[in-house]
Structure 1
């Protein structure tokens, strides 16, 4: 009997749309990991991302795991230049592209590891 009740959910009958929005309410963030030249994670490093077209920037600080998620899709759709700094150590700049649809923009790569120069 239960099996017949479940089969009713698989038919082609019209369904009522919930009217919900499939777009994410939160901004999509780029995960930035900052490491030393020998690969140790760096807590307290400053991560700065700059839109190469508008020159608008977002700055964040890495947490105790050496990760920052401050860089987000508000800088999209133009490419973004990302760099990290801890004291006198600076990483090379990396470029991140954003792929956008009607709802959100997603970074490519989704995770960026910045290595501080020795």
Structure 2
């Protein structure tokens, strides 16, 4: 019995992004934006009570994605994520990003 398609995930794979203040505290309500460096398409999300956003997902793959966080006038340095794709889904590398806002 052929089951090749059954292992594919129906949900989009997401990147976990944690946003920290300059002193290391988790930031609730920070805006996280991921932008595909080839197409310039972007996804934006907001961090939850734990300072985490999972809004950026594999719909931006397969190109590299530049990720940045902002909270008010504070901005994090951008980081880049690569998406490694197989026949079903794409996985972010790294799977988790930690962005620290500038003081």
Q: Same fold per TM (> 0.5)?
A: yes
**Larger proportion of strand:** 2
Taking the aligned partners of 1:69 and 1:110, their CA distance within structure 2 comes to: 11
Which aligned segments of 4 or more residues in structure 1 are displaced greater than 6 angstroms? none
Specify the alignment match of 1:90 in structure 2.
75
Given the alignment, which residue of 74, 93, 97 partners 1:108?
93
Specify the alignment match of 1:52 in structure 2.
37
RMSD, matched Cα = 1.2
Aligned residues: 103
Taking the aligned partners of 1:53 and 1:20, their CA distance within structure 2 comes to: 29
Per chain length, whose mean CA-contact separation is higher, i.e. which structure has more relative contact order (CA < 8 Å, sep 6+)? 2
Give the alignment's TM-score, normalised by structure 1. Answer: 0.84
Give the alignment's TM-score, normalised by structure 2. Answer: 0.96
Taking the aligned partners of 2:4 and 2:97, their CA distance within structure 1 comes to: 36
Q: For residue 84 of structure 1, report the CA deviation from its aligned partner.
A: 0.1
